[in-house]
Structure 1
């Protein structure tokens, strides 16, 4: 190669010394901005930790102020000396004792040095105990200025994290490319080099300045600049947004906010309970996985990150996290990680009652393409999925009708509610087994605890590794406690409980359980619409017509079965006697009490007392107007609303029968809702009213301070005759179009 051919092309634009200096300065500034952008969420976390600490300290003080001095007896061995002297001299609370300190207490008549030392040691232990148990919780029904301030910061953090994530690829390219580009361009801005360097060197310097100029004015720089502009706007908006809007947004995305709140608290996910008590070697293998969350649109909790890593660290796994911890999200995280390594084919098998939920969750929380293999055209959809990849979701019932291409293998099989295949002799179990043999990885999901179901657990392990099943569990009397069981089977099984991993365990967890009506009840529904009979439209989803079982009944049975496994009591509310009869018949195998408006009040009281006193699982089925008011049923852990109510207050009062002072456990509320039905229209009307009712209509500071709390249009709001007729018209039009 001769010298002429080695010389770079003359630059299209000539940069003088002033322009070169400006471009280099801009490049250096852009590099600093690109680095700083990545620090924004962390800086916000630091600020929020200060807010959290103030709120946490205030809660600790509040609880110590409410703790009588007499309770210090629980923190000493034997009798608390000087208790009467303390109360006589005005020291009524543990907080008063703690803040007084040893010096002031020595001046209290009747207290000597040894007594003061014992009292202060007890007060210190009490404060440490309260501090350990105190967690800041966000509750939309009881907003305070301090909680609102924390929530505003969280709102900014949530949005800022999304902005930074969206610009991250541009930021990384700049961080990688700018140092060398700035260094190369800097060489060409000096006077001596510009004056005395060889022409080829000058041309190369000009080219380098041009490269840097292109970076400074390029799309990646624009993305970083736009991100900072958006962050400034978010900062301003977070402080100006009305309080009601801030709390409404939290209510609609509580899981997202709670995950960021866990980061603010400093949750690490390293506790044994959060890793399911698996042996250290198993935990270490999981931690070696660098989980790729690029395709996720949700931030995972630390225990969820570990769960996904655990699954990815082995060819087959059973994820048995307790109901409500997000097994679906963890499975989606596994799919998202695998999809970043290349084209992915995943098949999800789930009960028909949660088919829609799976599709919604995948679409909401990831960028993965998902298709539904169910109903007409399912075989064609299956063939397309097999050819193109993505996530396919089908049901147990559809398996017998699906024909995979000969020799076709796919990457991942996810089986939801896997306890449904515990009996290997059933047809659906054999079908799942055949699919498992075609899959590169198998993930079984079940919220049913396996510790006391050893034979069933062994059957599930056989889907993953038949040899391992017999080696792990040589006999069924090997285990005496859950932790030993989990440690023994840690090669394939991971389970965490809510109280182990959710420090901010909410007092109330609500879920909308959407189902699709089967053809039989859909026909009953269409007939009710044609007759313009609104009550029949509302109860059509429970019509026991034909041979099939209504989808709401299927989902209800699943909820009750899961509750029975955990020994929880369940209350099921419906307005309609017809629906109550249908539910009672469908749950004939479950211990139950049925209460309607026809049951005298005295008998009703006796039955509720029996429900409360009963040890273990029991189902109470009742008319919402009959037992949804005036009684306390704190014994219930699960509340099911069988159909949307026409007044937010009716539903809320029913939930509050269980969700009130004296409730020892978290309350789980399920609303059973049917797609493409009156339920959707009612939810559209009731959603905001329900949130506002909860925010203002209860006995709280907001109620006393806000006129909205006593506004009858809010408290007594009802979907009346006019709205009902409008819904009937809308449903008539929709069915005609369909």
Structure 2
């Protein structure tokens, strides 16, 4: 296929070309991959500035997206792309293959850095999803930090650079410029631009930007980062969001209420609810809302079939057209597959290709596994959220697998199955209000703790 870049794509290519480090903070669907591949090809074959490029990406993106995108366009046919995936022996064989671009999943970056040691061979790098390196304490960040001085050209790609606030930017920008703009350490960055927010003793739960800090931070990184919103540059299909309220029967609602009360009252009366304990409580309540719950031994206890019935209703209403269903827990997946034998779990390239050919009527995916880089818009225009997520980043990225340029049909419908009287309602409010995951989760659980403690002590 002949590649004729849009004006904004040409701008991005020119922006990247002369920079040793740059970030493309582009919305989903703007073509980050083809922009980057085109720039890499020019670096390698027009300017002879780099020899080997490493692409670090989420697993399914490393497996599928970069090879398919390079094969799709006429001007990229000469690029040799290999996957560095699978067992250690398979990864080593792939690294021994003569190629231009090597795609590895981000979990294996620490292994790769250790494998090569001082003989690091990659002088070009693409971090495709840059925001997955936002935690400076993670093994993947520390491994990348070791080899960063050996990289001649590096590109960071993401549509969600600060899902939990500006504090997330430091580690990502450090991997681009090694601390030149936002400071050499996270402590330096915090002290300069933030004040401590909520805290318990010496433990700070969040950091609040100082007056004027946001504009100063954006100004600091503006010379190496370009940001674009899809709605400003491309025509997106109409999007229809539907909340399908699921009503539990009296027995199931009573069971939910009892389990909710038990979960929040497990906390010691004097305990401060932090993100860790809130996540445990929230996880249990979300499971019950979906229809089942794990006990301490990992055994599944079914509670209701209300969401399965609701999913059945949605499928009937769309007259058998293909539907992409996002689930949260393994027991969700198992129960959906028992109820709907036609459903297929998204495992890899085979399911992606079959879905886009219209051969899978119901594709089941976890948002964490299908939230970045996959192109699923050719297979259908209906999404159902069977289980909801607190993460605005995952929610937006997952929806963008279909809600993007080239979507099948003129309208994309996103249906949310929301169990009435449960924590599902809190999740929907947080997503609508664009709250960060941690803030929304803490507030939801604190409200429940207060509600049941007051009733318990009355």
> Larger % of strand: which?
2
The structure showing larger relative contact order (alpha-carbon pairs under 8 Å, at least 6 residues apart) is 2
TM-score by length of structure 1 reads: 0.32
> Larger % of helix: which?
1
TM-score by length of structure 2 reads: 0.49
